[in-house]
Structure 1
Amino acid sequence: MCGIYGTTLPYHKEQVQKKLERTGFRGPDQMGISCYTTSHKPITFGHNRLSIIDLDVRSNQPFTYENQIHLVFNGEIYNFKSLRETLSNKGHNFHTSSDTEVICAAYLEYGEQCVNHFNGMFAFVIYDETKQILFGAKDRLGQKPLYYQLSEKGFEFASQISSIQMFNENLSISALAIQKYLAWNSVPHPYSIFNEIKKLDDGHCFTYDLQAKAFNDWPYWDIASPIVERYSGTFDEAKIDLEELLTDAVQQRMVADVPLGVFLSGGVDSSLIAALAAKDTEQKVKTFSVKFNEKGFDESIYAQKVADHLKTEHTVIECDYREGIDLISNFNHFYDEPFADASAIPSMLLAKHTKKKVTVALSGDGADEAFLGYHRYNRIDKMSKIFKIPYFNRLLAAQLMKLSPITRHKTIAEILKSKNEDYAYLSSLYRPKEIWLIPEEKPYDFKELHYLTHSKKGLHERAGDIDLKTYLSWDINTKVDRATMAFSLEARSPFLDYRVVEFAQSLPSDFKYQPTNQKRILKALLYDHVPQDYFDRPKSGFTMPFEVWFRNDLKDMILTELAPNELKNIPGIIPKEVTKMIHEHMNGTWNHYPMIWKLLVLKQWLVKNGKGIALR
């Protein structure tokens, strides 16, 4: 796990060094800068290394292979050992034991098709001297970020937007991105908070022709619609096949030349990963969980119970509001763009303390999307009943519900007036028409919408698909990458092995989802390793006591940061409505902490980054 940077713009080496220093937390072990002279424009590559595989300096980056391929790479190629053997048999030579060198050799052997041979999480860019192009790619499910700016002057890319932002006088803040952030809690692909900077889409490659200054990108992988080949075996056979596949995914992710552990919340997903990690290893697996002192937020007892059963070396990290305040104050330094998922703070706390004992941690991210585990999928069953009511009657009820001052009632109104279940589900999931927001003209105008609205799969599966392409990509992966990299910790998720995702996609829907038994096959597999009664409790998210903190310890900060005169400087909102909702939160009438957190993050970002930069 590292930070990468590159440019064809004429920055001085000292400027490039400062750009790398800005995101040095991503890779504190070594900073490398290389300049390459071309017949067109000079190219500069930069790299911050977090050493995981082959700790020797021979694997430092930027990396040159066969005097013609130059690479900067962030992430891990989990199948690099088998791929290296294949490439060796084809005549390629290796001088390191790193996955970095394998990428270079694979590119020489397979060209742009090399990405189809990689199983991993990655963002990389290659300078090909022979072809005079830059070739780059991002992993299939978007675990690693890649930002870029393309202009007449040249091309620039980086792991984080702040590296491109420094010394850049040609940026403007995107009003559209702020509007999208307020609606979706993050800035969705391909946008960034700046109009001139974009994100490379998940599962995409690109080339940049150095002579023609031409940029071209294309997808090399996507989830299938419809499923090309459905799983034809029984449920029990599928469980056996899934265990074999997941076990291999876990084992591949346990390859490291540094200490490794597992995030263990005590829920289904992380417990299954911990169980599979512990079953075939002689050494005790290190596991980590977070404990909050506030009532109702401490679930560490469940993680401890699972850890005791699996006989792991378990660490419970105790956190309080003082650490939370410190991370809130520095939040935008690590996230670079406005980001409103409040679970980012406990994720950062977990990473901060886990790093004290390990450098790599396995996580359970991706299971809810692939195996239909979110509570919201239950809404589909309820909505199917609603849509048996005549449209005129639903429309009348919607008009009455819309008069209510309660946000939830307005959401129900949107569901009732939807013409089909697809848009009803979308209205229940995304709420860009909340009362405190200036309404969007086209709230559901995003390119991933087709994953939900086509009719070649059932609605439950399509709901999972759109979460894989939006919520997982825009939110979960961003949260995990920034939270862990803030403390130079690498997070690896076996559920995001593309083979696991493709297998989950092939399964009959009822293998994954039943109204009272979500993630059915994962639970059945887990109960072979950990007693079922450990999990007989409602599903809970990874959160922290913001509701309480905002009313007590952080009240003065909130009232100061989001005072009426401060709210006037935040675009896209109705200050009068926000002030009213903050008052409701403080007096205990309603819990509006998600909105408060969202605006606090945006306001602090604008104060830090908006001075002298136009909004348009």
Structure 2
Amino acid sequence: MCGIYGTTIKYSKEQFFKKLERTEFRGPDKMGLSTYKTNEGSITFGHNRLSIIDLDPRSNQPFTYASKIHLAFNGEIYNFKELKEILFKKGYSFNTTSDTEVICAAYLEYGMECVNYFNGMFAFVIYDEEKQILFGAKDRLGQKPLYYQLSKEGIEFASQISSIQLFNKQLTISQNSIENYLAWNNVPHPDSIFNEIKKIEDGNVFTFNLISKKFTTWPYWDISNNSSNGYKGNYDRAQNDLEGLLTNAVGIRMFADVPLGVFLSGGVDSSLIAALAKKNFNKVKTFSVKFDEKGFDESQYAKKVADHLETDHNIIECNYKEGIELIQNFSHYYDEPFADASAIPSMLLAKHTKKQVTVALSGDGADEAFLGYRRYQKLDKIQKTLNVPYFIRKLGGPILNVFQPNRYNGIKNILNAKSVEEAYLQMVVNTASPWLNIKTNVSQVNALKYLFNDNKNFYENASAFDLKTYLSWDINTKVDRATMAFSLEARSPFLDYRVVEMAQSLPTEFKYQLGNQKRILKDILYKHIPESYFNRPKSGFGMPLNLWFRNELKEMTLDELSLKNLKEIPGINPGITNKMIQQHMDGSWDHYSMIWKLLVLKQWISKNGAGNSIV
């Protein structure tokens, strides 16, 4: 796991190093910088290395293979050993034991099709001297970030936007992206917070011709638009097949030349990963977070699972002082406005886990692929509601307005929906709140084709949509930045593309039946851990922000979000927003999610707004 950077633009050597130093936390073990000649000038690659496999300096990057292939690579190729053996038999030689060298050889053998042979999480860029092109790729599920900017001066790319931003005088802040952030809690792909910088989308590759300056990007992998009933076996066989696949996915992610552990919340997903990790290795370290505040401490569930599995369990106790410190430095690590408040406990978990291990397995991806979110339970009820004639449903809006205008906007939008998918979109995108004044059509995102798909039922459409949006834009961003902030590598077996493809192929009832969510995962889990351990409501990875905003963070919140400051934030109604903040402070209402969203945005604008106009 690392941070990469590259450009054809001329900067001084000092500026190049400062761009690398800006994200040194991603890879503090070795900073590398190399400049290569091109037919039109030169290109510079930079790399911050977090050493995981082959700790020897011979695997440092930027990496050159066969004197003509130059690589900057962030991530892991989990099947590199098998690929290496195949390539060796084809005549390729290797001087390291790393996956970095295998990428180069695979590119020489398979060309741009090499990405189809990789099982991993990655973002890389290759400079091919002979063809005078840059070839880059991002992993199928988008676990590793890759930003780029095209300009008259050339191309610039990086793992994080701040490396491109430094010494860049051409940037303008996107008002559309700010409004999208307010609606989605993040900046949806392929856009960034700056108009001029874009993101490579998940499962995509790109080329940049260094002579013609032509940039092209296209997908090499995607979620199938066909019906989910591709799996032909019965339920028992599906359990066995999936358990075997997950066991392998966990096993290949436990290869490292550094200490490794598992994040364990005590829920279904992380518990299954921990159980399969214990199946692969006798000694496993597990880590969970504990908050002192009542209602936010679920560490006892993780400990119960850990005791059953006999892992070396570590409970990380967190307090508001650590949380406040991370909140104050949040934009330094996340680069763009990002409103998922679980990023803070994720950072705390990573910070303390790093003291013992350098790699940690997580349970991310299971909810999207196996229908685990609570909002999926509402879909059947919504369908029954939509079966009521439209003219009757339409009467519901005015009736709700009689009781309290604006309060029930979300319900009114669902009543007016023409399909379950349209109602689901209203559930996941925030446009109905009275404090918002969004002018951008935030629902016009490329991923809508996964939600509005006539070939699948509404459960499968919601799952595919969340894999392409919530997982990619939110969960993967959260995990990457939170762990990389403390130089910790996170690996998620549920995001093995083979697992996702199998999940997509399974009949819906294998995953969700009569309210039983993640049915097949639970049945696999109960082979290893008693079912009674999990007879409790599903919970999120939360922290007591609602209490902190009324107490320890009250002064800072009121200062940052004063009425004067609120008037400088696009896309909101300052008066209504200010009233809602006061409601939260006097305890009459809980608006912590809105406050967090605005605090993050205000912090980002304060640090990045100078000299960058909002257009």
Q: In the TM superposition, what are the counterparts of 1:118-517 in structure 2 within 5 Å?
A: 118-227=118-227, 230-282=230-282, 284-402=283-401, 405=404, 409-517=408-516
1:118/1:244 Cα in 2 relative to 1: closer, same or farther (>3 Å)? Answer: same
Equivalent residue of 2:202, what SS? coil
Equivalent residue letter for 1:472: L
1:12/1:233 Cα in 2 relative to 1: closer, same or farther (>3 Å)? Answer: same
Cα shift at 1:429: 2.0
TM-score (norm 1): 0.99
Superposed CA RMSD: 1.0
Cα shift at 1:439: 3.2
Moved more, 33-42 or 106-115: 33-42
1:441/1:400 Cα in 2 relative to 1: closer, same or farther (>3 Å)? Answer: farther
Q: Percent identity?
A: 67
Equivalent residue letter for 1:60: N
Answer yes or no: is the 8 Å Cα contact 2:8–2:43 preserved in 1: yes
Distance in 1, matches of 2:402 and 2:454, equals 34
Q: Which runs of 5+ in 1 are unaligned?
A: none
Equivalent residue of 1:9, what SS? coil
Deviations along 1:256-305, one digit per CA (max 9) or x if unpaired, are 000000000000000000000001323x2000000000000000000000
Equivalent residue of 2:246, what SS? helix
Distance in 2, matches of 1:437 and 1:400, equals 23
Answer yes or no: is the 8 Å Cα contact 1:379–1:425 preserved in 2: no
Distance in 1, matches of 2:265 and 2:356, equals 17
Distance in 2, matches of 1:241 and 1:401, equals 49
Equivalent residue letter for 1:239: Q
Cα shift at 1:426: 1.1
Distance in 2, matches of 1:119 and 1:408, equals 47
> Residue 12 of structure 1 aligns with which residue?
12
Distance in 2, matches of 1:403 and 1:206, equals 54
Answer yes or no: is the 8 Å Cα contact 2:179–2:438 preserved in 1: no
Equivalent residue letter for 2:43: I
> Residue 591 of structure 1 aligns with which residue?
590
Distance in 1, matches of 2:279 and 2:508, equals 29
Answer yes or no: is the 8 Å Cα contact 2:123–2:136 preserved in 1: yes
Answer yes or no: is the 8 Å Cα contact 2:36–2:42 preserved in 1: yes
Cα shift at 1:541: 0.4
Equivalent residue of 1:105, what SS? helix
Deviations along 1:200-242, one digit per CA (max 9) or x if unpaired, are 0000000000000110000000000104871111111100000
Distance in 2, matches of 1:170 and 1:438, equals 28
Equivalent residue of 1:550, what SS? helix
Answer yes or no: is the 8 Å Cα contact 1:404–1:410 preserved in 2: no
Equivalent residue letter for 1:389: V
Equivalent residue letter for 1:568: K
For the pair 1:560 / 2:555, whether they are aligned, the reply is no
1:550/1:35 Cα in 2 relative to 1: closer, same or farther (>3 Å)? Answer: same
> Residue 114 of structure 1 aligns with which residue?
114
Distance in 1, matches of 2:60 and 2:51, equals 9
Distance in 2, matches of 1:239 and 1:288, equals 27
Equivalent residue of 2:249, what SS? helix
Equivalent residue letter for 2:537: P
Equivalent residue of 1:149, what SS? strand
1:134/1:402 Cα in 2 relative to 1: closer, same or farther (>3 Å)? Answer: farther
Distance in 2, matches of 1:377 and 1:524, equals 19
Equivalent residue letter for 2:417: S
Answer yes or no: is the 8 Å Cα contact 1:402–1:413 preserved in 2: no
Distance in 1, matches of 2:398 and 2:81, equals 61
> Residue 73 of structure 1 aligns with which residue?
73
1:285/1:65 Cα in 2 relative to 1: closer, same or farther (>3 Å)? Answer: same
The list of structure 1 runs, each at least 4 consecutive aligned residues, that deviate by more than 6 angstroms after superposition, is none
1:255/1:402 Cα in 2 relative to 1: closer, same or farther (>3 Å)? Answer: farther
Equivalent residue of 2:297, what SS? coil
Distance in 1, matches of 2:405 and 2:122, equals 43
Equivalent residue letter for 2:493: P
Cα shift at 1:359: 0.1
1:498/1:408 Cα in 2 relative to 1: closer, same or farther (>3 Å)? Answer: farther
Cα shift at 1:405: 4.5
Equivalent residue of 1:42, what SS? strand
Deviations along 1:90-128, one digit per CA (max 9) or x if unpaired, are 111100000000000000000000000000000000000
1:406/1:287 Cα in 2 relative to 1: closer, same or farther (>3 Å)? Answer: farther
Cα shift at 1:428: 1.8
Distance in 2, matches of 1:406 and 1:312, equals 53
Equivalent residue letter for 2:450: Y
Cα shift at 1:526: 0.2
Equivalent residue letter for 1:136: G
Cα shift at 1:404: 5.3
Equivalent residue letter for 1:70: H
Answer yes or no: is the 8 Å Cα contact 1:433–1:439 preserved in 2: no
> Residue 37 of structure 1 aligns with which residue?
37
Equivalent residue letter for 1:453: F
TM-score (norm 2): 0.99
> Residue 537 of structure 2 aligns with which residue?
538
Deviations along 1:454-482, one digit per CA (max 9) or x if unpaired, are 11001001000000000000000000000
Answer yes or no: is the 8 Å Cα contact 2:289–2:349 preserved in 1: yes
Equivalent residue of 2:67, what SS? coil
Distance in 1, matches of 2:347 and 2:26, equals 13
Cα shift at 1:433: 2.7
Equivalent residue of 1:4, what SS? strand
Deviations along 1:335-370, one digit per CA (max 9) or x if unpaired, are 000000000000000000000000000000000000
Distance in 2, matches of 1:305 and 1:256, equals 28
Distance in 2, matches of 1:342 and 1:202, equals 24
Equivalent residue of 1:447, what SS? coil
Distance in 1, matches of 2:39 and 2:530, equals 65
Answer yes or no: is the 8 Å Cα contact 2:439–2:571 preserved in 1: no
Answer yes or no: is the 8 Å Cα contact 2:228–2:504 preserved in 1: no
